[in-house]
Amino acid sequence: MSVWNPENIKDVAESIGIPTLSDEASRALTSDLEYRLSQVLEEALKFMRHGKRTTLTTQDISQALRALDVEPLYGYESTRPLRFGEASIGPGQPLYYVEDEEMEFEKLINAPLPKVPREITFTAHWLAVEGVQPSIPQNPTTAESRNQELAPKGANVNPNLAAMSGGDNVTVKPLVKHVLSKELQQYFEKVCGALLDDGNNDYRVAALASVGSDPGLHQLVPYFVQFIAEKVTHSTRDISVLTQMMELTHSMLSNKSLFLDPYIASLVPPILTCLVGRNLGTPNDPLSSYSLRQTAASLLRLIAKRYSKTSHMLKPRLARTCLKYFLDPTKPLGSQYGGMIGLQAVGGVEVTRALIVPNLREYEGLLRDAIEGNDDGKRKEAEMIVSALLDTLLSLEGEIVGTANGMANGHAMEMKVGLEDKIGPLFAEKVMTLGRPKVVKAIMQCE
């Protein structure tokens, strides 16, 4: 039994010029009409529920028609529900109609035209990729985010309330922000407190072990990166704090469950600061920063080895920065030491052969002045650099295949003259004292 009266179908058919419509066609059209109406009503009810309303409006019907790819009806855009009147045209046949509101014609003409309703549009974009917000027009910039945080809060500035009240020029602000759970916040505070507590070494070791092994810490990665950058920037004189920040960086790099590729660009600057920084540690003890520089160099080696495949310019940029500090005579000896060990850590034997050995002859003059000078602190630093350079030169020994000639008296003098011309008298004497002909041969083969 049909809910829709088939006689209405025949009336519509007669109005468009079809005087005779069979009963079978009328029943088929009635059944299809009922299906289409129920489909439109179901879709309109979805818009009503998503709008947090209990009254179905004409806008819901229009949106449902648009969603079903049907041309929407026009003329019913009032936010007020329609009022239907009932009239009887015969026994058992009520007729419903929309009650027309009486309005003054002059008022209607002088009233401003209503705004054309905006059509619904949908678009998609990446809000964040691996925790990093991409720089696209849909995402707010850093300055806009800060302005939103500093904007006044309240009912008067709420965009939703302004839209409901019909306010013009309503700006839509993103409502999504990174929120940490209470457990992760407490974990972050405990780890940071343990790293800065010099009196409890066991607590600090446990915190570093937790960061290096616990899964599920990816949400804390940007907070740890920011914490490392802030402490390194404001604690250049405190070797203990800088060392703990480098150990925290090593623990993060050791955690296999953390995806750190997007954060490497932010982790490298604090490491370089601890490697080639000018004012590290106390001025009275210039050697206090050398162990920190060695730790930073080992972290650079780990980063260059693990992430050079995903970032092809990582190794060249690190090598260029370290070479700049190594060969700059205006930099202190500590920065030159950091640049040298960082250069060897990033490139290994290839960089030693191509960049370090060819520049040793010119660099020797700077070290000789420091060794022969009256400043005891600079002399100790120069000796540290000479020792590190000898270790770097010894790494070339593994490149020589087979045996090398011995160091007889005549041959030794010839080798020493060649070395002095290659790397300078100071380093030539140190290398000859080692008595390792393979090292000498490897140095002489460097271009």
Predicted confidence (pLDDT) at residue 393 exceeds the cutoff of 90: no
DSSP letter string, 197-211? -TT-HHHHHHHHHHH
Among 313, 219, 321, smallest CA distance to 277 is for: 321
pLDDT at 322 over 70: yes
Range from 97-101, 290-294, 314-318, 375-379 carrying the lowest mean pLDDT: 97-101
pLDDT reported for residue 165: 45
User: For 42-67, what is each residue's pLDDT tens digit?
Assistant: 999 999 999 998 888 888 888 899 89
Residue 163 — pLDDT band, cuts 50, 70, 90? very low
All residues at 6 or more sequence positions from 225 whose CB lies less than 8 Å from its CB, including other chains: 263, 266, 267
User: How confident is the model over 97-106, as a mean pLDDT?
Assistant: 79
What type of residue is 351? Answer: V
**pLDDT value of position 148:** 53
CATH number of 182-347: 1.25.40.770
Mean pLDDT, range 247-266, rounded to an integer: 91
For residue 272, pLDDT over 50 is answered with yes
Using one digit for the tens of pLDDT, what is the confidence trace for 2-17? 677 778 888 888 888 8
Q: How confident is the model at residue 79 (pLDDT cuts 50, 70, 90)?
A: low
Q: Is the pLDDT of residue 155 over 50?
A: no
Structure tokens at 249: 């960086």
Residue 162 has pLDDT above 80, yes or no: no
Residue 427 has pLDDT above 70, yes or no: yes
Whether the per-residue pLDDT at 245 is higher than 90: the answer is yes
Q: What is the mean pLDDT of residues 86-104?
A: 74
Q: To the nearest whole percent, how much of the chain has pLDDT over 90?
A: 19
Residue 403 pLDDT level (bands cut at 50, 70, 90): low
All structural domains of the chain with their residue ranges: 6-110, 182-347, 348-447
Residue 82 in tokens: 């329609």
8 A C-beta contact, residue 347 and residue 357: no
Q: Residue 166: pLDDT band by 50, 70, 90 thresholds? A: very low
Looking up tokens 């974009």 gives: 125
Cα-to-chain-centroid distance, residue 361: 44
Q: What's the pLDDT score for residue 243?
A: 92
pLDDT-derived band of residue 388, with 50, 70 and 90 as boundaries? Answer: confident
User: What percent of the chain is predicted at pLDDT more than 70?
Assistant: 84
* 378: its two tokens: 């600079």
Span 307-325, average pLDDT = 87
Per residue in 203-234, pLDDT (tens digit) is 899 999 999 999 888 889 999 999 999 999 98
- Residue 44 has what pLDDT? 92
Answer with the residue of higher pLDDT: 173 or 307: 307
Is the pLDDT at 398 greater than 80? The verdict is no
Which pLDDT band, with edges at 50, 70 and 90, does 120 fall under? confident
Sorting pLDDT into bands at 50, 70 and 90, what band is 391? confident
Q: What are residue 97's DSSP bridge partners?
A: 85
Tell me, what's the pLDDT at 80?
64
In whole angstroms, give the CA distance from residue 351 to residue 407.
27
Q: Is 314 helix (H, G, I), strand (E, B) or coil?
A: helix
Mean pLDDT of 37-44: 92
Q: 98 φ, ψ to 5°?
A: -85, 125
CB-based contact 235:193 (threshold 8 Å): no
CA-to-CA separations, 265 to 76, 88, 255, 314, in angstroms, rounded:
57, 79, 18, 9
Provide the mean pLDDT of the chain: 80
Select, from the ranges 43-57, 97-111, 129-143, 273-287, the one with the highest average predicted confidence (pLDDT): 43-57
Q: Which amino acid is at 30?
A: T
pTM (two decimals): 0.59
CATH number of 6-110: 1.10.20.10
Give me the pLDDT at residue 104, please: 85
